[in-house]
């Protein structure tokens, strides 16, 4: 535990000391950083936000009114002009240019209109798969084996040799949960075939075909909005209001105190308390509720729930609890996978002795699916199935993303930019402690908390009016999900604007 917290502390201290000598507070938070000559081109010539109207402006508001006449659109906040947007900068319907630190809810790995991705789409050999979308589980294209090997399998988490593509993050988590239950019951059968009694009772939603099992999740988690996943999602009550859900165990996720180096013993005790409750829930659901925990699902960083972190020690201990109880461990990397933490997979920083059973992905991959260790997939056909089973055209987009990551060494860019961003946030929270606190992050996957929800909402609004796109998370936090091409200079632009806003609010 101390070792894993030490690693987190070292990262935090590095962020404070990396460029401390060059901070200039007279004009804001300015840090001397490495520049990358390729970024001007990728940003389409944009160098800073340009605000012409309020945000959203009149054109966005009119589009929202028109859309609302026939479509559910209560969550829409802005209309983007995707043809004019480029790299780290989004252009909206009113011509405002925003430095986008949210990148379509963290789903754009390379920002807008990346030339390599556009070229991969323009390739005429890909047109047929865009025009006639293949049903991958029935008649996949002849190129799919080669393409999967060069994309998804080339970046598979260590120790995981199996994959299946899906449509989105929710699809991936839903089917990972099904795989975990199937795997668990296959172990219970101990090599015996499925019985007619199981099949007949399954048709009636009854055991033994539909067994009494449970899956354990954590307070504050978000895994999706499908009916099954709502039983595992606990970030916002409104997400599942009026929806029947399963009575499955919910363990507390650690609430760490920041800065980490000041609360080593308190955070250690907090994580231990949470692990003890996980053990208690395993016992309760097995012995008292007769619904054994067959799977545990967890995010490396609880993103929607407030960007909550835990130590490598916590995750290692959780895996050992799963192994002891014969439960599958599912790591939901929908938000964290793809490089935002400075690694392809956030969970690989934990140094687990064995790989998890299942890892899910989506967002920055522009594709979605599941990775699995051997023996996790069922032998029978159609148990994990739908018409499209993903979209092979997105593999061409992913191919461009992976090539750009390798060519430009983007994980190092993420680490450098993340240091600048967190260093600046630490400095600002020291200057404005009545407004913000608890800066935290890994790579550019970072956040800070406001003193309350009202302050958080006001901050997001004021920052947006100055041409910066960020997103909320939890009850009172602001999160950053920039593209992998987000540079230290972009972090400095944001930090100076945040400084101006905090200065205004602190008067």
What is the DSSP-derived secondary structure letter of residue 262?
A: G
Record the tokens describing residue 498, joined without a space. Answer: 């945040």
Nearest of 92, 84, 54 to residue 466 by alpha carbon: 54
Asked if residues 1 and 271 have their Cβ atoms less than 8 Å apart, the reply is yes
The residue from 20, 387, 407, 409 that is catalytic is 387
Pairwise CA distance, residues 443 & 414, whole Å = 6
Pairwise CA distance, residues 136 & 392, whole Å = 8
Secondary structure (3-state) at 285: helix
The residue from 147, 363, 364, 489 that is catalytic is 363
332 is catalytic: yes
The residue from 43, 92, 94, 332 that is catalytic is 332
Neighbouring CB atoms inside 10 A of 486's CB total: 29
The residue from 46, 222, 361, 411 that is catalytic is 222
Record the tokens describing residue 493, joined without a space. Answer: 């632009």
Residue whose tokens read 């970024």: 39
Pairwise CA distance, residues 54 & 502, whole Å = 19
Record the tokens describing residue 12, joined without a space. Answer: 């935090």
Q: What angle do the packed helices 264-283 and 312-325 form, to 10 degrees? A: 20
Side-chain-side CA neighbours of 188 within 13 Å: the count stands at: 18
Angle at CA of residue 169, ends 220 and 71, nearest 5°: 95
Secondary structure (3-state) at 400: helix
Pairwise CA distance, residues 329 & 403, whole Å = 31
Pairwise CA distance, residues 276 & 271, whole Å = 9
Secondary structure (3-state) at 394: helix
Neighbouring CB atoms inside 10 A of 130's CB total: 12
Catalytic machinery residues: 222, 332, 363, 387
């Amino acid at each position: 535990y101390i070792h894993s917290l030490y690693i987190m502390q070292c990262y935090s201290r590095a962020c404070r000391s990396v460029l401390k000598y060059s901070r200039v507070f007279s004009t804001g938070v300015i840090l001397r950083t490495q520049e990358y000559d390729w970024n001007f081109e990728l940003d389409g010539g944009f160098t800073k936000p340009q605000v012409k109207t309020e945000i959203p402006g009149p054109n966005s508001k009119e589009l929202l009114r028109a859309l609302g006449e026939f479509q559910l659109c209560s969550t829409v906040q802005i209309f983007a002009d995707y043809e004019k947007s480029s790299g780290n900068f989004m252009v909206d319907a009113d011509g405002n240019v925003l430095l986008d630190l949210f990148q379509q809810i963290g789903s754009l790995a390379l920002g807008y209109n990346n030339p390599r991705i556009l070229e991969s789409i323009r390739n005429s050999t890909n047109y047929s798969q865009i025009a006639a979308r293949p049903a991958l589980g029935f008649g996949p294209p002849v190129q799919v084996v080669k393409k999967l090997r060069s994309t998804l399998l080339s970046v598979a988490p260590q120790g995981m040799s199996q994959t299946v593509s899906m449509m989105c993050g929710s699809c991936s988590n839903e089917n990972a949960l099904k795989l975990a239950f199937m795997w668990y019951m296959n172990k219970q059968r101990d090599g015996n075939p499925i019985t007619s009694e199981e099949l007949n009772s399954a048709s009636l939603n009854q055991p033994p075909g539909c067994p009494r099992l449970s899956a354990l999740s954590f307070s504050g988690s978000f895994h999706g909005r499908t009916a099954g996943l709502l039983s595992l999602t606990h970030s916002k009550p409104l997400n599942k209001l009026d929806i029947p859900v399963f009575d499955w165990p919910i363990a507390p996720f650690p609430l760490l105190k920041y800065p980490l180096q000041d609360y080593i013993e308190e955070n250690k005790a907090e994580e231990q308390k949470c692990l003890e409750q996980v053990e208690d829930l395993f016992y309760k659901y097995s012995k008292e509720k007769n619904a054994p925990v067959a799977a545990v699902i967890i995010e490396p960083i609880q993103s929607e729930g407030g960007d909550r972190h835990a130590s490598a020690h916590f995750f290692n201990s959780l895996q050992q609890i799963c192994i002891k109880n014969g439960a599958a461990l599912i790591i939901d990397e929908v938000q964290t996978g793809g490089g935002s933490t400075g690694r392809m997979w956030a969970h690989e920083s934990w140094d687990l002795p064995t790989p998890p059973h299942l890892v899910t992905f989506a967002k920055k991959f522009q594709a979605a699916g599941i990775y699995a260790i051997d023996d996790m997939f069922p032998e029978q056909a159609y148990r994990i199935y739908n018409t499209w089973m993903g979209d092979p055209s997105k593999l061409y987009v992913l191919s461009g993303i992976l090539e750009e990551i390798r060519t430009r060494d983007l994980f190092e860019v993420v680490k450098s930019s993340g240091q600048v961003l967190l260093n600046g946030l630490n400095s600002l929270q020291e200057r404005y402690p009545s407004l913000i606190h608890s800066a935290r992050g890994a790579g550019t996957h970072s956040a800070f908390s406001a003193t309350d929800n009202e302050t958080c909402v006001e901050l997001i609004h004021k920052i947006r009016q100055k041409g910066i796109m960020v997103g909320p998370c939890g009850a009172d936090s602001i999160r950053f999900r920039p593209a992998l091409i987000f540079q230290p200079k972009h972090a400095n632009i944001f930090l100076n604007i945040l400084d101006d806003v905090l200065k205004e609010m602190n008067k």
